[in-house]
Amino acid sequence: MSIATMPLNPAVIATKVNRDNLKSRIVHIGFGAFHRAHQGLYTSQMLEKTNSDWGICEVSLFNGEALITDLRQQDHLYTVAEKGATETVVKVVGAVKESLHPTFDGALAIIEKMAEPQVAIVSMTVTEKGYCVDHTTGQLAQSNPLIVSDLKDPLQPRSALGYIVQALRLRRERNIKPFTVMSCDNVQENGHIAKSAIIGFAKLLDVELSQWIEDKVTFPCTMVDRIVPAATKETLDEITDLIGVEDPCAIACEPFRQWVIEDNFVAGRPDWDVMGAEFVADVVPYEEMKLRMLNGSHSFLAYLGYLGGYAHISDTMKDINYRKAAFDMMIKAQAPSLSMPKGTDLNGYAISLIERFSNPSLKHQTAQIAMDGSQKIPQRMGKSLQFHLENGSDFKWLALGIAGWMRFVSGVDENGSKIDVHDPMAKMLKDVCDRHESSASVVPVLLSIETIFDPAIGQNPKVIEAVYIAYQSLLDKGAKATVSAL
């Protein structure tokens, strides 16, 4: 029994996609929660309006065997529950045509699928780590274990980059027009990062191929926005009750969504704009707005909320001090650093973010948002800090956010309990913190890590002093009292 074979509850919005008409014109790498709730749903609703054939072939490269198995068993249908403060709307997504996994199908099958002539877009949600980039240089990290493995055996790749380059090699050899590579990850200038990584990897294999990719392939930047908490048993059980049958591929999210896309596609694109996506010439201002105001304040709430004993972002919003601090973080620390198109209402955007964070129906865990901070902090707070240093303005909210991250990665909370820190630099960060034994003397040492903090920031005496004071306050008073004082 599955959503493909069982009648669903009448309240569920069934898909009207003509699924017989679909072709795998998009290959998407990373069948994770965000993609299901964002690009997958956008595409499904676009198909209903346009009756076009832009089907998706889903690919999971790491883990994901169970999810792909479940997806196949329910004829590649799944549900998205949009949970508002007062009601939940469940929609069936019908955009997925097929799925592949190296464990089941082999690496070559995935490469061949991407090389098929009808494939016009290869999109990705592989997280920051999936691009295998050295964040200090912005270039390919050649020592990354995935890259080392892919260079040794290019026809059995492990990284998304390896698969894409091999598929483009086949298309070039077969005289097939290249596809567009579209990153949908929450990474600043994600298209440029993808381009740099892919061309850098290709150059190590075949210089002529790398030049062909640089000349022929397009890498549009995108800005994606929707709060999508990780699936939990509680969430899946709730969706089962709502639809009347189990859907292990289901995901819950907030009603809000946004998608801004650089209109730069070498082989055509779907009309996602019929469902509200914005095609623009320059995505950067919108990326910066989201990264600093939404993601930056999200990180602020995640670290300080977790340290304050709050399990979910919506819990922090019940505390008037956290609510006020988050709003001030957006308006006083982040908004002044932005250069937005004329008419952009940043105050209204901040108000909408506070409303979204307050949604009690979304159990977005502070611990989940706190993951991978060493890779997120530079994007979410770095440029804002630089702006305030150049202008001599107040950045105490940013300093406290960074201090909260430092306190979090020490691995021990305010009650002496262990924090399960998920970060590619977790061990190194904890070792540094351990050497300083819960002392604020750790602050300048952590700020000196150039893979996280640009020296202009991390070695600036004003930054060191501000973060030191904030960190000492966290040690002396705790997170709640420190946020209240802010």
Please report, in tens digits, the pLDDT of each residue of the chain (486 residues total).
Answer: 678 888 889 989 999 999 999 999 999 999 999 999 999 999 999 999 998 999 999 999 988 999 999 999 999 999 999 999 889 999 999 999 999 999 999 999 999 999 999 999 999 999 989 999 987 788 999 999 999 999 999 999 999 999 999 999 999 999 999 999 999 998 889 999 999 999 999 999 999 999 999 999 999 999 999 989 888 899 999 999 999 999 999 999 999 999 999 999 999 999 999 999 999 999 999 989 999 999 999 999 999 999 999 999 999 999 999 999 999 999 999 999 999 988 889 999 999 999 999 999 888 899 999 999 998 999 899 999 999 999 999 999 999 999 999 999 999 999 999 999 999 999 999 999 999 988 999 999 999 999 899 999 999 999 999 999 999 999 999 999 999 999
In a domain, 1, yes or no: no
Q: Note whether 23 and 92 are same-domain residues.
A: yes
Phi-psi region of 350 (alpha: psi -120 to 50; beta: other; left: phi over 0): alpha
In a domain, 3, yes or no: no
Q: Which two structure tokens, joined as six digits, stand for 160?
A: 């998304």
Q: Note whether 442 and 389 are same-domain residues.
A: yes
In a domain, 9, yes or no: no
Domain count, the chain: 2
Out of 248, 280, 312, a domain closes at 280
What is the radius of gyration, based on Cα positions, of the chain?
A: 23
Out of 239, 265, 280, a domain closes at 280
Give the other-Cβ count within 10 Å of 392's Cβ.
7
**How deeply is 85 buried, as exposed, middle or buried, from its count of CB atoms within 10 A (0-12, 13-18, 19+)?**
middle
Q: Note whether 259 and 358 are same-domain residues.
A: no
Q: Note whether 419 and 361 are same-domain residues.
A: yes
**How many CA atoms does the CB half-sphere of 194 hold within 13 Å?**
30
Single-letter residue type at 110: I
The pLDDT, as a whole number, for residue 7 is 87
Q: What is the CATH number of the domain that holds 321?
A: 1.10.1040.10
The pLDDT, as a whole number, for residue 342 is 87
Phi-psi region of 233 (alpha: psi -120 to 50; beta: other; left: phi over 0): alpha
The pLDDT, as a whole number, for residue 2 is 79
Q: Note whether 393 and 318 are same-domain residues.
A: yes
The pLDDT, as a whole number, for residue 15 is 96
In a domain, 378, yes or no: yes
Phi-psi region of 386 (alpha: psi -120 to 50; beta: other; left: phi over 0): alpha
Q: Which two structure tokens, joined as six digits, stand for 365?
A: 């865990």
In a domain, 13, yes or no: no
Q: Note whether 197 and 313 are same-domain residues.
A: no
Q: Note whether 164 and 246 are same-domain residues.
A: yes
Give the other-Cβ count within 10 Å of 9's Cβ.
11
The pTM of the full predicted model, rounded to 2 decimals, is: 0.83
Q: Note whether 354 and 222 are same-domain residues.
A: no
| Domain range enclosing 323 | 284-485
In a domain, 189, yes or no: yes
DSSP E strands: which ranges in 125-254?
A: 133-134, 139-140, 180-183, 222-225, 251-253
Q: Note whether 258 and 328 are same-domain residues.
A: no
In a domain, 464, yes or no: yes
Out of 280, 301, 335, a domain closes at 280
In a domain, 86, yes or no: yes
Residues contacting 483, CB < 8 A, separation 6+ = 304, 308, 319, 321, 322, 325, 400
Q: What is the CATH number of the domain that holds 253?
A: 3.40.50.720
Q: Note whether 147 and 177 are same-domain residues.
A: yes
Q: Note whether 236 and 313 are same-domain residues.
A: no
Q: Note whether 269 and 316 are same-domain residues.
A: no
